[in-house]
Structure 1
Amino acid sequence: MSTMTTTPIPVTVLGLGLMGQALAAAFLRAGHPTTVWNRTAAKAETLLAQGARRADSAGDTTSPLVVLCVSDYRAVREVLESTDLEERILVNLTSGTSTQARATAEYVAERGGTYLDGAILAAPDGIGTADAVILHSGPRPAFDEVEPALRALGNATYLGADHGLSALHDVAVLGLMWSILNGFLQGAALLGTAGVPATAFAPLAAQSAGTVAGWLAGYARQVDEGSYPAPDSTIDTHLAAMEHFVEESETLGVSAELPRLVKALAERAVAQGHGPSGYAALIEQFREKA
């Protein structure tokens, strides 16, 4: 993928952890004049050797684009207290919640700046490649203005004007990731009782995950329409298999916490009349408050 732009945009990167360093390096490779700052100044040395300018403080910058990537939103506020945001576009790539993103947008606006919230769906070594997906939300005109620079980081994806959308998507994807990984580890633990190594299970698990991924578009339509037909298996049928999942785990001495949770969700759906429905009807359980 090409990361060069016709008019390089000066950018300042605040926060030089592993991800912050990867972001700054990608901007430099794409030809953007890049200023960097970190509380621990030594973390900037490699970037300085690549052509970056060191800022003496978080506020020592005149770049129209400021990219922030620190540990959490408390650190975001601490950094921004000394940063001049007047007429600047701040792109915050710090992980957090949608509530924190919206509150930070108000804070930046009060300081005269424009705020874009973001979420990085990539590891540091993927930044600057076509595999990196960077989500952005906030004012569209601001995104359009700095998108040429943001493309240096990966696939810059705009989600909408609501500043909380990036964080919401990030958390949703993390939940998906943990569900897949937890399911794999549960299966590996079960198979391990019969001496089957996890490496032998991995190819089948990957193939099965791909099969399930193919169902998502159809399930998504059912969720959006609020209608849950069962062309294959009903929740009643799934529940019977879930009972085997729990029993097998308990019998083999493997933790049954995950199987019991899965079964409990299905049982609640059946109690609400969704036994004959398709699996997508479980969305109603996830929508309920605890």
Structure 2
Amino acid sequence: MIGLGNLGRAAARVLLRGGHPTTVWNRSADKAADLVSAGATPAPTAADAFAASPLVVVALLDPSVVRDVLADVGDAARGRAVVNLTSGGPEDARAHADWAAEHGADYLHGAVYAVPQTLGTEDSSVSYSGSARVHEDWRAVLDLLGKGSFLGADAGRASAFDVAVLAGMYGMLGGFLHAAAMGRAAGIDAAELTPALVSWLTGLFPALHGFAGEIDRGDYTTEESGLDMNRAGLATILRAGESLGVAAPTLRPLKDLVDRQVAEGHGAASLARVVESFGGGA
């Protein structure tokens, strides 16, 4: 186990509980103390940790730290199955896969959908991409961390899923905080507002599947509320917020994207057409 931050420590505990001899390494060696007490073997260097096991799990702060650590591993990586759980973008995962290939290792990238305290429980899942052989050979061990799914041979695909899902999550959280600010300015406690908001969002979630179909088809024809109507609704919300003294740093960019689509002549199209203003189309 390379890296003993919150995720790495949790992963090491899960592996130890599963009966697997586990060697641990961290740049700050003191973080290994309780794991060593629980049966883990400390390694003096990352290269020693790689040499200790055919399976190496990496969970570090960010991709730049992964690059720094791997730079010191060298030939110790040869023949190893490297599973990297470090969060990053798809280009980072592909670069790490290239490093592994150059050093005779097989690379599998994992995106963890769990907080560290739920790792290894039914509330934990991990998406993987990269080496199908690593995923198959080590599935029994990896499944201890959470329900696993394999997304394909492109090492960056699990990260692409991950950052896309997180973008949606943070967008939702930004919307919640904006709603709480507007409610507070109007004398409504967040605890009073939240049940109504959760109910509304829960009812809205099925519409996302419809939007997804429109985006994949590139057909935004709709008989329901189009961009013109949504533009007016957003303008109303922004005016109300201004009257309450509430800024809209998370919502105004969406209004700008809607305005752009309307200006380009798509006022009757579905709200899903805003995705075309983000760029990045295949």
TM-score (norm 1): 0.92
Looking at structure 2, the residues matched to 274 and 73 of structure 1 have their Cα atoms a distance apart, in angstroms, of: 40
Looking at structure 1, the residues matched to 31 and 280 of structure 2 have their Cα atoms a distance apart, in angstroms, of: 45
Choose the corresponding residue for 2:231, options 200, 216, 239.
239
CA contact (8 A) 1:245 1:259 kept: no
CA contact (8 A) 2:57 2:84 kept: yes
Q: Secondary structure at the match of 2:46?
A: coil
Counterpart of 1:57 in structure 2 is 45
Choose the corresponding residue for 1:140, options 132, 137, 142.
132
Looking at structure 1, the residues matched to 222 and 60 of structure 2 have their Cα atoms a distance apart, in angstroms, of: 46
Counterpart of 2:68 in structure 1 is 78
Counterpart of 1:5 in structure 2 is none
The 5 A counterparts of 1:133-172 are: 133-172=125-164
2:144 counterpart letter in structure 1: A
Q: Secondary structure at the match of 1:172?
A: helix
Looking at structure 2, the residues matched to 65 and 272 of structure 1 have their Cα atoms a distance apart, in angstroms, of: 53
Counterpart of 2:10 in structure 1 is 22
Q: Percent identity?
A: 40
Structure 1 stretches lacking a partner, 5+ long: 1-12
Shift >6 Å, 4+ stretches: none
1:169 counterpart letter in structure 2: F
CA contact (8 A) 2:23 2:52 kept: no
CA contact (8 A) 1:159 1:166 kept: yes
Structure 2 stretches lacking a partner, 5+ long: none
Q: Secondary structure at the match of 1:276?
A: coil
Choose the corresponding residue for 2:57, options 64, 67, 71.
67
Looking at structure 2, the residues matched to 162 and 124 of structure 1 have their Cα atoms a distance apart, in angstroms, of: 26
CA RMSD of aligned residues (A): 1.4
Does 2:25 align with 1:37? yes
1:20 counterpart letter in structure 2: G
Looking at structure 1, the residues matched to 211 and 29 of structure 2 have their Cα atoms a distance apart, in angstroms, of: 50
Looking at structure 2, the residues matched to 57 and 30 of structure 1 have their Cα atoms a distance apart, in angstroms, of: 24
How far the C-alpha of 1:54 sits from its partner, in A, is: 1.2
Of 134-143 and 15-24, more deviation after overlay is shown by 134-143
- CA shift digits 1:142-192 (9 cap, x unpaired): 211111111010011211111111211111111111111110111111111
TM-score (norm 2): 0.94
1:50 counterpart letter in structure 2: A
How far the C-alpha of 1:288 sits from its partner, in A, is: 5.9
How far the C-alpha of 1:82 sits from its partner, in A, is: 2.9
- CA shift digits 1:117-153 (9 cap, x unpaired): 1211211101001111212110212211111111010
The 5 A counterparts of 1:223-238 are: 223-238=215-230
How far the C-alpha of 1:258 sits from its partner, in A, is: 2.6
2:13 counterpart letter in structure 1: A
Q: Secondary structure at the match of 1:287?
A: coil
1:176 counterpart letter in structure 2: G
How far the C-alpha of 1:233 sits from its partner, in A, is: 0.8
Counterpart of 1:175 in structure 2 is 167
Looking at structure 1, the residues matched to 259 and 206 of structure 2 have their Cα atoms a distance apart, in angstroms, of: 25
Choose the corresponding residue for 1:48, options 11, 36, 41.
36
Looking at structure 1, the residues matched to 146 and 205 of structure 2 have their Cα atoms a distance apart, in angstroms, of: 24
Specify whether residues 30 and 231 from structure 1 end up closer, same or farther in structure 2 by C-alpha distance, changes over 3 A only.
farther
How far the C-alpha of 1:231 sits from its partner, in A, is: 3.5
- CA shift digits 1:214-253 (9 cap, x unpaired): 1111111111111113242111111110110111111111
2:56 counterpart letter in structure 1: V
CA contact (8 A) 2:63 2:92 kept: yes
